[in-house]
Amino acid sequence: MLHFENVGLRYGMGEEVVSDLNFSIAPQTFQFLTGPSGAGKTTLLRLMLLSLRPTRGTIHIFGRDSATLTKDELTGLRRRIGVVFQDFRLLDHLTTYENVALPLRALGRAESSYRAEVMELLRWVGLGQRMNAIPPVLSGGEKQRAAIARALIVRPELLLADEPTGNVDPGLARRLLRLFVELHRLGTAVVIATHDLQLMDQLGFARRMVVGDGRVDIFEGNPE
């Protein structure tokens, strides 16, 4: 579903942050993206989302060469991707419930068809009591969980998450990881950027993509 061929990226006139990347993300797979701070994990996630264009090489997404996509086509493809970024990007004037329901509303679904589903997911991520709160009054960890719920609610084909358990305690991190695994089992390809070795060790089957020195080394997980 996602294929990088000789991809390189530099910001402005700087050195290449990543060079000659060649890898694929297959449907229904689970991978961690890891590596030292500043190695290029966020850059790689932004390339996968096509919010950054490679300075060289090609990226194929859902079978299409990203360089040939029109703006509308790009918007259509992005709807198939769930994203959790470090700055959450919640809408401050909407409640937590409304933020999470937004992608379903955008798909034209009637509220009666998704209300119970949204509430169940919010309870699962520990926001059952915060459904009517607006993001400015949520803690960092609560915002992060709202952003995760919003990314998961449409069961995207591809999920890209940047440090999704960075602001929560270990118990909740394990619970959120279970949610990502469940999504994967339902058919989503999951990419989680993390520094958390303990978290990665909990999923022996997950592939590890280690970013460093501009390259990505891939270590396959154990068979499930």
Ligand X SMILES: Nc1ncnc2c1ncn2[C@@H]1O[C@H](COP(=O)(O)OP(=O)(O)OP(=O)(O)O)[C@@H](O)[C@H]1O
Tell me which residues touch ligand X (CB under 6 A).
11, 17, 35, 37-43
DSSP at 186: T
The number of helix segments (H) and strand segments (E) in the chain equals 7, 10
**Which residues are CB-neighbours of 142 under 8 A, at least 6 positions away?**
96, 127, 130, 133
Burial of 209 (0-12, 13-18, 19+ CB in 10 A): buried
For residues 111 and 92, give the distance between their C-alpha atoms in angstroms, rounded to a whole number. Answer: 20
Q: Which of 36, 170 has the CB closer to ligand X? A: 36
Q: Which of 41, 145 has the CB closer to ligand X? A: 41
Shortest Cβ 14–ligand X spacing (Å): 6
Q: Which of 37, 132 has the CB closer to ligand X? A: 37
Q: Which of 43, 95 has the CB closer to ligand X? A: 43
**Which residues are CB-neighbours of 12 under 8 A, at least 6 positions away?**
none
Shortest Cβ 173–ligand X spacing (Å): 17
Q: Which of 41, 150 has the CB closer to ligand X? A: 41
Shortest Cβ 12–ligand X spacing (Å): 6
Shortest Cβ 71–ligand X spacing (Å): 21
Shortest Cβ 39–ligand X spacing (Å): 4
Which ranges of the chain does DSSP label H, i.e. alpha helix? 41-48, 71-78, 96-106, 111-124, 140-152, 170-185, 197-201
Residues 15 and 9: beta-carbon distance below 8 Å? no
Shortest Cβ 35–ligand X spacing (Å): 6
Which amino acid, residue 34?
A: T
Q: Which of 100, 190 has the CB closer to ligand X? A: 190
**Which residues are CB-neighbours of 55 under 8 A, at least 6 positions away?**
8, 9, 10, 16
Say how many C-beta atoms besides its own lie within 10 A of residue 143's C-beta. Answer: 21
